[in-house]
Structure 1
Amino acid sequence: MSIAVPSAAPAARVQLVDLGPLAQLRAGRLPRRLVQLAVGLVAYGVSLAMMVAGGIGLAPWDVLHSGFVEHVPMTLGQAVVLFSFVVLLAWIPLREKPGVATVANAVVVGLSADAALAVLPTPDALAWRVALMVGGVVLCGLATALYIGAQLGRGPRDGLMTGLHRRTGISLRAVRTAIEVSVVLIGLVLGGVAGVGTVIYALAIGPLAQWMLPWFLVDLAPRR
């Protein structure tokens, strides 16, 4: 998968490239990319916690996570970590290749979500709840652009989507919709939290991440 992103010079283009794990580490600018990845994943966990604190709907996968923790002695962040590794098992038949971001995503997002939930207030006023939800969606778009722009691989759920697309030939949009509808329905059956925020997230996260990605996409082109 390669996305051309215009830069300041018309002839120069920064590419989002699909590299194997070793190639990711050898591609250059590694310190900057690792820092960017870490910031993005922590911000992703915080954005999840903000939507939980807002209480008016979670992202589709988090509807599933919130429903799951209703039945097991586990925090939401721990459920995020658990399901990340469960999803990684599906990568095996899909022949997806994990990267640095794959493992980091599986662990850091859940841990940072729990840490943020420990300090975030849960306001009663609707205005504050809406602000937390909207802020969470925007921060998630920023976090997605940061960690994808680091060019260190896909997260578990992103890899599931791209793997199914590659193996079935079904469009990415259709695969993503099918996955997210499925996890929301399962989450609701388990008692998960869905609402207006879920719909807003589903509609906004793609455009937000695409808009912000050029700001953070690290150029891995060889220097001359």
Structure 2
Amino acid sequence: MMTRRLIQLYAGLILYGFSMALMLRANLGLDPWDVFHQGIAMRTGWSFGTVVNVVGAFVLLLWLPLRQRPGIGTISNIVVIGLAVDASLYLLPTAETLPVRAALLALGIVLSGLAGGAYIGAGLGPGPRDGLMTGFVRRSGWSIRLVRTGIELLVLAIGWLLGGTVGLGTILYAVSIGWLVQVFLPHLTIAERPPRPALDLQ
């Protein structure tokens, strides 16, 4: 069971990095966190994947006052996605025509939903950004929708001011990613194995 969880976790994280690279190559707008990542990358000269890793580690530090506990999936999220997106950007050519860019955008959004369902369904710990959201919800008593919207609007605004790409892809991602994860997650959730009944030795 654990082997399956680990395989699904890492497959999902690698696929998530690949989906991010597809949206970057489409150049039609990124999801809020990636607008933030891209803006920082443009200002620092770091690779996109390096920024993803560094921001993930910083966000994890914000878990401390929220008393969140990371899992192996949380730590793996910080390391693997950044490496996967940089490797994918190295392999993927730049898209020139609008139809190709639109296809990359659509594929990137769908694969992001599939990848999210895979690594969440593995049940080995949330990503640092998701954990930040759930931690705030638990400590504040506010709704998930309010906290998530507030965090994503904040990072989107900062990323846009830093030069990150906001566009049609940003809107499409925002309106579709929740539904996509909801579609994929039930098929990818690995149920806990029920404990074996104790032997009756009487």
- Normalised-by-shorter TM-score class: over 0.9
**How many matched pairs?**
196
1:124 to partner: Cα distance: 1.3
Using the alignment, how far apart are the partners of 2:130 and 2:41 within structure 1?
A: 22
CA-atom RMSD, angstroms?
Answer: 0.8
Using the alignment, how far apart are the partners of 2:195 and 2:136 within structure 1?
A: 35
Please name the residue that 1:163 is paired with: 135
SS at match of 1:192: coil
Question: One-letter code of the match for 2:67?
Answer: R
1:223 to partner: Cα distance: 5.3
Using the size of structure 2 for normalisation, the TM-score is 0.95
* 1:130-175 per-position Cα deviation (integer Å, ceiling 9, x unaligned): 1101100000000000001001010000000000000101100111
* 1:30-87 per-position Cα deviation (integer Å, ceiling 9, x unaligned): 0000000000000000000000000000111000010011111200000000000010
Q: Does 1:219 align with 2:191?
A: yes
Please name the residue that 2:100 is paired with: 128
Please name the residue that 1:59 is paired with: 31
Question: Which residues of structure 1 form unaligned runs of 5+?
Answer: 1-28
Please name the residue that 1:70 is paired with: 42
SS at match of 1:71: helix
Within 5 Å, which residues of 2 pair with 1:100-111?
100-111=72-83
Question: Which residues of structure 2 form unaligned runs of 5+?
Answer: 197-202
Please name the residue that 1:39 is paired with: 11
Please name the residue that 1:194 is paired with: 166
* 1:101-122 per-position Cα deviation (integer Å, ceiling 9, x unaligned): 0000001000000000001111
Using the size of structure 1 for normalisation, the TM-score is 0.86
Using the alignment, how far apart are the partners of 2:108 and 2:117 within structure 1?
A: 14
SS at match of 1:69: helix
Structure 1 vs Structure 2: percent identity of aligned residues? 49
Using the alignment, how far apart are the partners of 1:193 and 1:182 within structure 2?
A: 15
Q: Does 1:147 align with 2:119?
A: yes
1:221 to partner: Cα distance: 3.6
The structure where helix makes up a greater share of residues is: 2
Using the alignment, how far apart are the partners of 2:165 and 2:72 within structure 1?
A: 31
- 1:178 counterpart (150, 163, 166): 150
Using the alignment, how far apart are the partners of 1:71 and 1:61 within structure 2?
A: 16
4+ residue runs over 2 A deviation: none
* 1:150-203 per-position Cα deviation (integer Å, ceiling 9, x unaligned): 010100000000000001011001111111110010001111111110111111
Within 5 Å, which residues of 2 pair with 1:82-97?
82-97=54-69
